[in-house]
């Protein structure tokens, strides 16, 4: 019946499309009002001295000039952020992959374990977890008690400018869940025959891991790398809630600086400029990763898809 | 084909309905009620500790019972992010009708176009006869404009753990100088290496610098014309003192203390576990701290240097109650403030949870009832013996304060010597002063 009236089918399509737009209208409105407009507005603001309630004035490139030349905290913050990304992202990916491999084994109650291991990611950004982290890593906290009991002295995990950033990185590594799930799915997609063949050829565990698992997982690693990198650059909750950027500005990540300029110092225009610089940095790193991907990712379809 | 058209029409009309729904309901609601007791919803924001929240909610409850058409929604939480939230609300024009404002923000908010109703125009709705308006104007006024009414009086002082001081043979007195502080700090350390005389949170280090400066030369950090209010030698003296406090163990090493630098003693385990004995604070914070501590607390006067040019002790309004300019219910908001500050029953409920009331009527009631804790009135009266010159806008600027905190850490973590810190601080502060004018 259907293929007997092809012309009428085509006619309907115009109507269908209109109805289709109607159905996605809520999303379109949301996107225009809450994403595209703020996005463009912040670009315009970045050339003004917009402060919250005063009328704004255009100041040309002043905000950008000030950022790179006279802001005493900009470079400190950028350095801390890059360091943080370099610590947190690989840490998180390695840990996520490790847990995914464990959970990929045929264990009893495996679904239960998978759920449990995903939990930290759900709790992740919450205030309560940040407070918990403060307690765990405070001078008289659980971590130090444990270290004392095995004969190692207390460390000021969050109080020492040299350690605080690393401690914060641990919190993010601990929230490995979403990367882990992707890795797990990737692992399940690797054909078992490859492993069988390797075993027959006498390859050990390490060899199968480096020659089969890693290459076959490379598209997933690539995706996770991009996503986690973007998230790490934008990190705000942990430093803001746990250390407020201190001590000695060692955890004064870009997101915190941005927020303080906007909402504590009311320099909205300046903060907009900073957010565009952050955007360009993230774009730059993402582009680099994309450019490098042909050299280290493997697609069964040759990447043609 | 017909079917599809019907669906489209249906979808469009549904959408129109959904979008216009709020308007329809709003219109209906307005007509249904007579004007006199039409329901009014007010929002009221404040910060503080649990004792303050409970008392405030109770007072709100009473007001709602008396005025069934009015509902008041409280927006309350901790002090630390209150200002940021307020600014976002002001930017989005969604601020509450009644807003609590700290004296530290007044100059900032005035520069931002003063988004609050001028209190001087509300004398009809709010009985202001019990208020010392000269005091209110020093911190909350400019020309004919007054931002709000000061609720409580706040004095700075040393809150101490009586048991702790006794144990280490530290004798409290209202005659302490900065030298006494170090001397006592050494005494505590000599008795027990893990105990410290006192702890200053980040906010307090800034007060310490400001107070010492006033005692040295009578100035604020930045003068009204945005010039530095000190010479190199004067600031060096202050940074060297901070260095001494750290090196003598009068305060805990920064590594250990920094985690609690943004909270008050009631949330600082080292205070609660009696690892240090003095917490410099404003009097309005005492009820919350006293409640959390399971030892007796008392107050002594803030240190004043011998031959001080100005005793420098900070006495300020604890907070202002303001009416939001964009509020659709300004009159109702003013009426509520009148109730909150002047009604006898409300005064008895709220007690001293916002500091000792600046409204003399309220203060007299509480004194007669004997409900102001001794330690709170002690701290205020001790502070009143050495009131310092008022802070000015430039010195209260949040960036100036953040910069000052940073340099306290540079000295505290011994990343800079006091001399290096002084030079760098002067350079940075002068540069900053140019951008905030």
Residues A133 and A274 placed together within one structural domain of the fold: yes
B256 and A139 within 8 Å at the Cβ level: the answer is yes
A53 and B428 within 8 Å at the Cβ level: the answer is no
Say how far apart CA B394 and CA B312 lie, in whole Å.
17
User: What is the extent of the structural domain holding A204?
Assistant: 62-296
CA distances to A95, A163, A208, B304, B407 from B205, in Å: 41, 24, 59, 15, 10
Nearest Cα residue in chain A from B428: A72
Looking at domain B40-151+318-342, its CATH architecture is 3-Layer(aba) Sandwich (3.40)
Residues A259 and A110 placed together within one structural domain of the fold: yes
Residues in chain A whose beta carbon is closer than 8 A to a beta carbon of chain B? 8, 11-12, 15-16, 18-19, 22-23, 25, 51-54, 66, 70, 72, 134, 138-140, 156, 158-161, 243-244, 246-249, 259-260, 263-266, 268
Does B409 contact A at CB distance below 8 Å? yes
Residues A34 and A96 placed together within one structural domain of the fold: no
B111 and A72 within 8 Å at the Cβ level: the answer is no
Peptide bond into B73 cis (omega under 30): no
Rounded to a whole number of angstroms, the distance from the CA of B12 to the nearest CA of chain A is 8
Tens-digit pLDDT profile for residues B230-260: 999 999 999 999 999 999 999 999 998 888 8
B11 and A23 within 8 Å at the Cβ level: the answer is yes
User: What ipTM goes with this model?
Assistant: 0.83
Nearest Cα residue in chain A from B1: A12
Tens-digit pLDDT profile for residues B93-125: 899 999 999 998 888 888 878 889 999 999 989
Set of chain B residues whose Cβ sits within 8 Å of the Cβ of A266: 87, 108, 112
Residues A37 and A86 placed together within one structural domain of the fold: no
In a domain, A108, yes or no: yes
Residues A165 and A267 placed together within one structural domain of the fold: yes
In a domain, A51, yes or no: no
Residue ranges matching CATH 3.40.190.10 in chain B? 40-151+318-342, 154-315+382-436
* Overall average pLDDT of the B133-143 stretch: 86
In a domain, A126, yes or no: yes
Residues A131 and A213 placed together within one structural domain of the fold: yes
Residues in chain A with pLDDT values less than 50: 1-2
Say how far apart CA B60 and CA B73 lie, in whole Å.
9
Residues A39 and A103 placed together within one structural domain of the fold: no
Buried b (16+ CB within 10 A) or exposed e, B97-124: bbbbbbbbbbbbbbebebbbbbbeebee
How many distinct structural domains can be found in chain A?
2
Residues A16 and A141 placed together within one structural domain of the fold: no
Q: What percent of chain B has pLDDT over 70?
A: 92
Residues A111 and A9 placed together within one structural domain of the fold: no
Q: Which H/E stretch holds residue B300?
A: strand B297-300
R_g of chain B, CA atoms, integer Å: 25
Rounded to a whole number of angstroms, the distance from the CA of A3 to the nearest CA of chain B is 17
pTM (2 d.p.): 0.83
Residues 6 or more apart whose Cβ sits within 8 Å of residue A82: none
Residues A22 and A97 placed together within one structural domain of the fold: no
Mutate to test the interface with B, among A246, A249, A271 (most CBs of B within 10 A): A246
Mutate to test the interface with B, among A159, A252, A260 (most CBs of B within 10 A): A159
In a domain, A56, yes or no: no
3 state SS of B99: strand
Set of chain B residues whose Cβ sits within 8 Å of the Cβ of A156: 255-256
CA distances to B135, B152, B209, B296, B313 from B283, in Å: 17, 10, 19, 15, 12
Q: Which long-range contacts (CB under 8 A, 24 or more apart) does B182-190 make?
A: B182/B244, B182/B245, B182/B248, B182/B250, B184/B250, B185/B245, B185/B248, B185/B249, B185/B250, B185/B251, B186/B248, B186/B249, B186/B250, B188/B249, B188/B250, B188/B277, B189/B248, B189/B249, B189/B250
In a domain, A37, yes or no: yes
In a domain, A173, yes or no: yes
Confidence of residue B9 (pLDDT cuts 50, 70, 90): low
Nearest to B8 among A18, A52, A246 (CB): A18
Q: Which long-range contacts (CB under 8 A, 24 or more apart) does B303-307 make?
A: B303/B158, B303/B176, B303/B177, B303/B178, B303/B180, B303/B181, B304/B176, B304/B177, B304/B215, B304/B386, B305/B177, B305/B178, B305/B212, B305/B215, B305/B216, B306/B177
Of the spans B34-38, B120-124, B140-144, B417-421, which averages the highest pLDDT?
A: B417-421
Tens-digit pLDDT profile for residues B265-321: 998 999 999 999 999 999 988 988 999 999 999 999 999 999 999 999 999 988 999
In a domain, A220, yes or no: yes
In a domain, A211, yes or no: yes
Q: What is the CATH number of the domain that holds A143?
A: 1.10.3720.10
Does B371 contact A at CB distance below 8 Å? no
B1 and A12 within 8 Å at the Cβ level: the answer is yes
Tens-digit pLDDT profile for residues A217-260: 999 999 999 999 999 999 998 888 888 888 999 999 999 999 99
CB atoms within 10 A of CB B87: 23
Chain centroid, CA A58 distance in Å: 34
Between A153 and B166, residue with greater pLDDT: B166
User: What CATH number was assigned to the domain covering residues B154-315+382-436?
Assistant: 3.40.190.10
Q: Which two tokens stand for residue A264?
A: 């504590």
Say how far apart CA A39 and CA A45 lie, in whole Å.
10
Q: Which two tokens stand for residue B262?
A: 């943004």
CA distances to A106, B266, B274 from B288, in Å: 55, 7, 17
Residues A18 and A166 placed together within one structural domain of the fold: no
Residues A31 and A74 placed together within one structural domain of the fold: no
B402 and A16 within 8 Å at the Cβ level: the answer is no
pLDDT of B30: 38
């Amino acid at each position: 019946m259907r293929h007997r009236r092809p012309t009428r089918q085509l006619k309907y399509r115009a109507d269908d499309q209109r109805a289709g737009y109607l159905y996605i209208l809520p999303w379109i409105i949301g996107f225009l009002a809450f994403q595209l407009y703020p996005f463009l507005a912040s670009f315009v603001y970045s050339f003004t001295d917009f402060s919250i309630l005063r009328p704004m004035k255009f100041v040309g490139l002043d905000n950008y000039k000030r950022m790179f030349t006279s802001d005493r905290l900009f470079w400190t913050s950028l350095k801390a952020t890059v360091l943080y990304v370099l610590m947190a992202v690989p840490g998180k990916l390695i840990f996520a992959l490790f847990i995914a491999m464990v959970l990929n084994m045929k264990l009893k109650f495996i679904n239960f374990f998978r759920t449990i291991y995903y939990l930290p990611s759900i709790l992740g950004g919450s205030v309560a977890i940040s407070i918990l982290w403060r307690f765990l890593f405070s001078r008289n906290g659980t971590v130090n008690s444990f270290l004392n009991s095995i004969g190692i002295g207390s460390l000021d995990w969050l109080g020492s400018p040299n350690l605080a950033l690393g401690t914060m990185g641990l919190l993010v590594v601990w929230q490995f869940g979403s990367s882990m799930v992707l890795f797990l799915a990737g692992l399940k997609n690797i054909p078992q025959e490859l492993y069988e063949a390797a075993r027959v050829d006498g390859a050990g565990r390490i060899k199968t891991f480096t020659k089969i698992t890693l290459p076959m997982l490379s598209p997933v690693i690539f995706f996770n790398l991009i996503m986690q990198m973007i998230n790490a650059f934008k990190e705000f909750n942990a430093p803001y809630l746990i250390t407020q950027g201190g001590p000695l500005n060692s955890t004064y990540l870009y997101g915190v600086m941005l927020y303080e300029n906007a909402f504590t110092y009311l320099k909205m225009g300046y903060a907009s400029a900073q957010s565009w610089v952050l955007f360009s940095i993230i774009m730059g790193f993402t582009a680099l990763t994309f450019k490098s991907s042909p050299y280290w990712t493997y697609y069964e379809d040759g990447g043609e898809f | 084909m017909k079917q599809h058209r019907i669906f489209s029409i249906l979808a469009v009309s549904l959408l129109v309905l959904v979008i216009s729904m709020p308007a329809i309901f709003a219109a209906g609601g307005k007509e249904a009620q007579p004007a006199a007791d039409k329901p009014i919803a007010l929002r009221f924001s404040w910060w503080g500790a649990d004792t303050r929240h409970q008392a405030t909610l109770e007072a709100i409850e009473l007001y709602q019972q008396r005025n069934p058409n009015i509902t008041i929604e409280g927006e309350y939480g901790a002090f630390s992010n209150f200002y940021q939230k307020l600014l976002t609300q002001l930017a989005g024009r969604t601020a509450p009708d009644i807003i609590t404002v700290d004296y530290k923000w007044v100059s900032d908010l005035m520069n931002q176009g003063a988004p609050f109703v001028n209190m001087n125009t509300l004398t009809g709705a709010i009985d202001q006869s019990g208020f010392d308006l000269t005091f209110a104007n020093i911190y909350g006024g400019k020309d004919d404009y007054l931002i709000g009414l000061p609720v409580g009086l706040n004095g700075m002082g040393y809150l101490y753990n009586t048991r702790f001081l006794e144990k280490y043979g530290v004798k409290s007195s209202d005659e302490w100088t900065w030298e006494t502080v170090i001397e006592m700090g050494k005494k505590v350390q000599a008795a027990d290496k893990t105990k410290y005389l006192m702890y200053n949170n980040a906010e307090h280090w800034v007060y310490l610098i400001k107070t010492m400066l006033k005692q040295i030369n009578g100035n604020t950090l930045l003068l009204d014309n945005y010039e530095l209010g000190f010479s190199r030698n004067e600031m060096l003296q202050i940074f060297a003192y901070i260095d001494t406090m750290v090196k003598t163990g009068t305060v805990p090493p920064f590594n250990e203390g920094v985690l609690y630098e943004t909270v008050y003693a009631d949330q600082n385990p080292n205070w609660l576990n009696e690892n240090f004995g003095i917490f410099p604070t404003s009097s309005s914070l005492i009820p919350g701290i006293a409640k959390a501590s399971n030892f007796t607390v008392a107050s002594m006067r803030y240190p004043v240097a011998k031959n001080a040019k100005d005793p420098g002790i900070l006495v300020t309004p604890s907070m202002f109650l303001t009416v939001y300019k964009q509020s659709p219910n300004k009159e109702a908001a003013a009426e509520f403030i009148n109730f909150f500050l002047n009604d006898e029953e409300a005064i008895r409920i709220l007690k001293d949870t916002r500091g000792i009331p600046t409204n003399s009527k309220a203060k007299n009631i509480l004194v007669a009832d004997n409900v102001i804790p001794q330690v709170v009135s002690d701290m205020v009266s001790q502070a009143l013996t050495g009131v310092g010159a008022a802070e000015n806008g430039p010195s209260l600027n949040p960036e100036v304060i953040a910069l000052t905190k940073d340099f306290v850490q540079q000295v505290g973590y011994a990343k800079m010597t006091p001399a290096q810190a002084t030079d760098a601080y002067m350079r940075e502060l002068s540069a900053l002063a140019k951008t905030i004018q």
